[in-house]
Amino acid sequence: MPARVTTLKELAAQLDLSITTVSRALAGHQQIALKTRERVTEAARQAGYVPNTAARTLVSGRSGFVGMVLPIRGPNLVDSFLGEFVTGLGEGLVSHGTDLILAAAAQGQSELSVLRHVVESGRADGVVVTRIAEVDERLAYLRQRNFPFVAHGRLLDTDFAYNWLDTDGAHAFGEAFDMLYDLGHRHFGLVTIAEPMTFRHLRQDGLAAAIARRGDPSVRLDVATAPRFDRGARIQAINRLLHAVERPTAIVALFDELALSVMEEAARAGLTIPRDLSVIGFDNIVASAYAPPGLTTFDASIRQCAREIGEMLLTIIGGRPAAPLTRLIRPTLVSRASHGPALTGKN
C-alpha cells in the first residue's frame, strides 16, 4: 500500500499546535503570528504536506476542478482538436492550480447525462462545452442550474445570454469570398455538412452576406452538403460539384478535412490546383500544410482560444460577473498555394 500521507492533524501534533492554527497558518491568515506562520510553513514543506483535495472540497464546496465531457466516437474518429484544446485549457487553468477533469461519454451514452453527473456530483466548479448544436440541451441544462460554464461556440438564438468564446467563421468566410472575388472568381462552391451544428450556419451566412454585400448578380454559389462521418457520401457530394456541367472555379470548404478531400478528388479528376480550381479551408490542421500544393486556410488558433476559455471560466467561478462574458476571435488567413486567379475562358 502507498506510504502514508501527512495530514493536518499530524502536522499539528508535531508542532504542538491546534489543527485550526496550522490550517490558518498555511492559508496565510494574518491573525496567526508571523513567527508561527513561518514555523508551520517550514514544517509543512519538510513533511511534504499536501492538503487532501476531497476534504477541502467537502467543506469549502469548491473542488478546484474544471470539467469537460470527452465524447468517444467511432474507432477511428478522434476530435482532431482535442489535443490542442486540452493543452490550451490546461495552460489557462494552471495559474490558479485548477485541474481539468475529462469525463468520457461512452458511445451511445448521452453527453448530457455525463455532464449532469459531473455537475451534480460536485466534481467540478465549472465546465467547458464545445461543439454547440443548433438546439443544445447542455446549454439549457447549465443555465437552468445556473452552473458556471463557458461554451466554445455560439447558439443562433441570440436572446439566450451566456458565456461563450467563438471563432468568427462568418468573417473568415467573408474574407475568403472577397479575396477570391478579387481574383476574378464568380462561380463558387461551398462544401458543408449536414450536422446540426451552429458553426456551419454562421460560416455559410458569412459567405452569403459577403456575396450580398458585393451586389454582383453574376456571382453564383453552389452548395454541396454531406453527412459528417460518411466518407463515401462526402466524396460523392464533392464530385457532384467537381463534375457539374458548369464547375465552380473556387471551392470553399466548411473545414480543412473537407478541403483536403476536395483537393484529392480534384487531383483524381485531373484538375490542377490552383490553376483549374481554387480551394480554401478552415482550421489550419497540420495536414493542410503537407497536402500539395499546400492548402490556403484560416487558423482558428484553438489552443489560444481554449486558453482564454480557461481564463474566462476561472473569472466566472470566482466572483460571478454581472453580464455574460463573450469573445469573438478573428481567425487569420494562412495563405498557401491552393488559391489563385480564376481561369478565364478555356485555356
Partner DNA sequence: GCATAAATTGCAAACGTTTTAAATCGACCC
Partner DNA sequence: GGGTCGATTTAAAACGTTTGCAATTTATGC
Shortest distance, position 100 Cβ to DNA, whole Å: 21
Interface residue with a copy of itself, options 9, 29, 145, 213 (CB under 8 A): 145
- With helix as H, strand as E and coil as C, how does 71-140 read? ECCCCCCCCCCHHHHHHHHHHHHHHHCCEEEEEEECCCCCHHHHHHHHHHCCCCCEEEEECCECCCHHHH
Asked if 329 interacts with a copy of itself (CB under 8 A), we say no
Shortest distance, position 332 Cβ to a copy of itself, whole Å: 14
Sign of CA dihedral 113, 202, 168, 333: positive
Give the DSSP letter of residue 271.
P
Residue pair 145/119 in contact by the 8 Å Cβ criterion = yes
Residue pair 164/154 in contact by the 8 Å Cβ criterion = yes
* Site residue total, DNA (CB under 7 A): 28
Q: Using CB under 7 A as the criterion, what x/- string covers residues 52-91 for binding DNA? A: x--xx-xxx-------------------------------
Q: Where does this chain touch a copy of itself (CB under 8 A) — which range of 35-43, 80-88, 191-199, 210-218?
A: 80-88
- Pick from DNA, a copy of itself, none: which does 33 bind, CB < 5 to 8 A by kind? DNA
Measure the CA–CA gap between 177 and 188, rounded to whole angstroms.
Answer: 9
Nearer to DNA, 24 or 303 (CB): 24
Measure the CA–CA gap between 21 and 323, rounded to whole angstroms.
Answer: 39
| Residue 177 CB partners (closer than 8 Å, separation 6+) | 188, 207, 210, 211, 214, 252
Grid cell listed for 279:
480551394
Q: Where does this chain touch DNA (CB under 7 A) — which range of 31-39, 101-109, 245-253, 273-281?
A: 31-39
Asked if 124 interacts with DNA (CB under 7 A), we say no
Interface residue with DNA, options 8, 119, 139, 165 (CB under 7 A): 8
Asked if 304 interacts with DNA (CB under 7 A), we say no
Give me the residues that bind a copy of itself (CB under 8 A), please: 1-3, 5, 48, 50-55, 57-58, 63, 65, 70, 72, 75, 78-84, 86-87, 90-91, 93-95, 99-106, 116-123, 144-147, 260, 285-287, 289-292, 303
